[in-house]
Every structure is written in structure tokens, then in C-alpha cells.
Amino acid sequence: MAERPTAGLMTTGFMAATPRPAKVLFADGSTVELSGDQAELVDLVLGGPDTVTPETAARMLGVSRPMVLRWIREGHLEDHMQGTRHHITLTSVKRYGEARAAAGRRAAATIAAAAGGDDRAAGRLAGARQRAKQRIAERDG
Amino acid sequence: MSEDYPDLEEAAYELRFTGRALEDLNCPNDTPPGDAAAVRAGTEYTEIVAHFQDQRTAHPTSGGPPLRDVGRHDIYSVRGPVGERACTWYDRSSGICWFLGRVAGHDYDEFEVRAANGELLPSEDDYTSLEFEREELDLASTVGPGVRRLVDQAVDRPGVPVRRTVGHLLQLDVSVLALDADDDTYRELYITVRVPPLEPPPQDWPGGDGIAERVAELATNLPAEELSLEFPTEVPAGTREVRQIDFSAERAVVIRGWTLPD
């Protein structure tokens, strides 16, 4: 892609539960279309709102809205309510999202090690595998 | 709204992908199944994944009719923008809305074949991954801070064991005992972990020394490779007393030569 002047860069997108496409207007009058996700990311990078709604947090974290509310109650997400409106700090959403991603990476590495013959890793999985068997038995029973 | 689940609007659940679904999406082998953003980054079929995210974060069964001929009536379709199809299942007891698979076009037959072969719903490996990931998250976010507080208390009172139950999913009874070594800078840190019983207990429960090693990492915020760890069969139980570890439910680790943080 050819270089474009960055002066006068602005977005017309905004963060929403389902991000809408946006258009970027450059100083020279040229424009480029951004997808909804790209617009949301630009909004974040350029210092968009530092709080998000439960709907946006749900989409960012890949969970339902009630799960977001549960995580607020459990202290994993930071919420500043104004009246009946939730304002969840973006920092806490990112932090907890990264904690979940890190747990996923650790879990995947342990599972891969166990599959590769690592007895210690297989031992670490013993409890999880037992609970997994119980879940399947309950589901199929 | 499904008649089976009248309160779906209040359902707390996470989105997750089965291993079979990740294969359908041609994701790399190490793609975390609970990280929709990572799945989207690793697949060429980003739109169907985006549709799954958009629709299923709002409601666990909306966006398409339930599939027929798959042996049950609670598997729902997600329609992609280029005619592809995915199917999902809301697993209420696990708190997961699973992305079960993706097919090109309207090839629902593939889902029916998988269902007939018992390969449509999440497998034991899928659930093992889920359970272990939740265990890891609980360890890091709940057990870790709890253990570190115990370490602080134990270091303040060398020779006096401090004990507490920490964790949500994995309730660990953790005991920490700090002993002064010859050099005041170093401590021996004994950590004993008692895990809750499982019925019936797995053959290799509670899984070797891995849980104790992991708690040692959480206690010190250091990876095991940077710690001098031993896994004793007995631990101090007071002044000049020792006790045997109950290997049916306990594991212990001693961190030697551990430098106190500033």
C-alpha cells in the first residue's frame, strides 16, 4: 500500500457492541474503508473511551453479557456505575482478557506436552481429565 | 427462545471451539480454543467466526433454526456470508456455547454423519482442555494472590506455619512455612498443598508434583526453572517436629535458597 500522509487522520467510526465499518479521511482528502473491528481498534489506540458497556466487554471477551456481570461481582472486572449504567474500565477488560488468554496458552502447552509423552504434564492433567469424563457421563447419561 | 431454556437472556456463558471445529477452520494446532480473537486471527474463515461471536454473545441459540437429524434438538446453525454453515451447542451445565464445526455450502449432511458417529459434540479432550484452562485461570487469578499473601505472612514469622484455603474452582489448602537459612537473605520455603478429593479418585491423583510446582511458581512469581525446588516426603510440623505427607491428597515443595524480594 502506498504511504499516506498521517496529518489530519480522523475516524468516523465508534465503538459499539457490534462495531460498524468506518471511513478514514486523510488530510489530502483521500479515504480508506475500515472494517468494524479495525475501527474499534483505531478508536482504542487513539484514546477512545476508557470505559466500555457490558455489551462491548462481552464481545471483546467472547462471553455473554450476564457473564460479564458475574465477573464484575467476582472482582475480575472493574465497574463504575452511574445510576443504572455500567462503565467497565477498559484496563480491567484487557487485563482479564490477557489473564484468560495466558491461562489458555499454559493449558495448551501442558496438553501438548502430555500428548508428547511428558509424564509430569500428564499428571497435571489428571484432575481435569477426571472432571471431563464426569461431564460427558452427565451429558450422555 | 428455546422452551428448554426459558431464561437464556440471563445465561452466563463463554464461547469456545471444539478441536474438530478448529480443524474445520484450518487453525494452527496451538490455537487456544477459548480465545475467539485468536481463532479469528488463525483462520481464513473469519466471517463465520465473527458471526458466531456477534450472534452467540447476544444469545446462545439465536440466528438460525435447530438442526435436524443430529440426534438432539438443541444444536443450532450459524449462517456465514458466503453460504457456509456452522453449528453450535449451548452446554448449560458447563457454561459454554460451543462452536462445533463448519462446513462449506449447505452441507448439513456432514454434521449428521458426525452426530451418528458420536463426533459432533465436544470430546473428552475438549472438556479436559476446558477444565484445565479454568483450573489454570483460577490458579493465576485467585490462588496466586492468596498464596503470595501467605508467603508474606510466613516470611514475617519464620518457623510458624500459616495456612489458608485459597481458590474458587480448585480449593487448595495451602500451608507455608518460612525457615531462616544461615544467610538472612535466603529462606527455605515449605509449601504444602492439599487438594480436594475426587470420587472416584483418578489413578494418578493428585497428579504428581505438578500442582506443588505450580503453586511454587505462583508463590514466588518465578518460573520453576529459576527455582531450586525439591519435593519432600515430610515437612516441618513445628519446632523440631516433622510429619509425613499424605500422598493421597497432598503434595509438598520446598524452595531452597530463595532470595527475599526487596
Cα separation, A9 vs B260, in Å, equals 50
Please report, rounded to a whole number, the percentage of residues in chain A having pLDDT higher than 70: 70
Q: Number of residue pairs across A and B with CB atoms under 8 Å?
A: 153
In this structure, are strands B241-244 and B75-79 parallel, antiparallel, or unpaired? Answer: unpaired
**Are the CB atoms for B143 and B167 separated by under 8 Å?**
yes
**Cβ contact A64–B35 (<8 Å):** no
Closest residue of chain A to B132, computed from CA coordinates: A128
- Compute the nearest-CA separation of B123 from chain A (Å): 8
| Partner residue opposite B30 with nearest CB, options A112, A133, A136 | A112
Q: Taking residues B89-99, report their average pLDDT.
A: 95
Q: Which of B4-8, B35-39, B174-178 has the highest mean pLDDT?
A: B35-39
Q: Taking residues B58-62, report their average pLDDT.
A: 89
Tens digits of residue pLDDT in A6-30: 433 333 333 334 455 677 767 677 7
Across A71-80, B119-128, B208-217, B228-237, least confident range: B208-217
**Cβ contact A62–B208 (<8 Å):** no
B8 — pLDDT class (breaks 50, 70, 90) = low
Which residues of chain A from 92 to 131 reach within 8 Å of chain B, CB to CB? Answer: 96, 99-112, 119-131
Cα first-last separation, chain A: 57
At residue B121, the pLDDT reads 97
**Cβ contact A110–B132 (<8 Å):** yes
Long-range interactions of B107-112: CB distance < 8 A, separation 24+: B108/B67, B108/B68, B108/B69, B108/B77, B111/B67, B111/B70, B111/B75, B111/B87, B112/B67, B112/B69, B112/B70
Three-point CA angle B56, B168, B236, nearest 5° = 155
At residue B37, the pLDDT reads 87
The label of the residue with cell 460479564 reads A68
**Cβ contact B128–A105 (<8 Å):** no
- Compute the nearest-CA separation of B132 from chain A (Å): 5
| Partner residue opposite A124 with nearest CB, options B121, B134, B207 | B207
**Cβ contact B124–A121 (<8 Å):** no
- Compute the nearest-CA separation of A124 from chain B (Å): 5
**ipTM of this complex prediction, to 2 decimal places:** 0.73
**Are the CB atoms for B183 and B241 separated by under 8 Å?**
no
At residue B48, the pLDDT reads 94
Higher pLDDT, B1 or B21: B21
**Cβ contact A121–B210 (<8 Å):** yes
What's the whole-model pTM score? 0.74
At residue B239, the pLDDT reads 66
- Compute the nearest-CA separation of A136 from chain B (Å): 7
Grid coordinates belonging to B36: 475467539
For residue B44, pLDDT over 60 is answered with yes
A73 and chain B in contact, CB less than 8 A: no
B189: closest CA among B176, B200, B198, B201? B176
- Compute the nearest-CA separation of B188 from chain A (Å): 24
At residue A17, the pLDDT reads 42
Cα separation, A67 vs B11, in Å, equals 7
Most B CBs within 10 A among A53, A64, A71, hence the mutation to make, goes to A64
CB neighbours of B254 closer than 8 A, spacing ≥ 6? B188, B189, B190, B191, B229, B230, B231, B232, B235
At residue A12, the pLDDT reads 36
Cis bond before residue B32 (omega within 30° of 0): no
At residue A41, the pLDDT reads 65
For residue B200, pLDDT over 60 is answered with no
Residues in chain B: 262
The amino acid that residue A80 corresponds to is H
Residue B260: half-sphere exposure toward Cβ, Cα within 13 Å: 17
| Partner residue opposite B32 with nearest CB, options A105, A121, A138 | A105
B87: closest CA among B58, B119, B117? B119
Contacts of A123 in chain B (CB under 8 A): 204, 207-210
**Cβ contact A128–B128 (<8 Å):** yes
Bridge partners, A64 (sequence order): none
Grid coordinates belonging to A69: 456481570
CB neighbours of A17 closer than 8 A, spacing ≥ 6? A53, A55, A56, A58, A59, B58
For residue B88, pLDDT over 90 is answered with yes
Bridge partners, A25 (sequence order): A10, A31
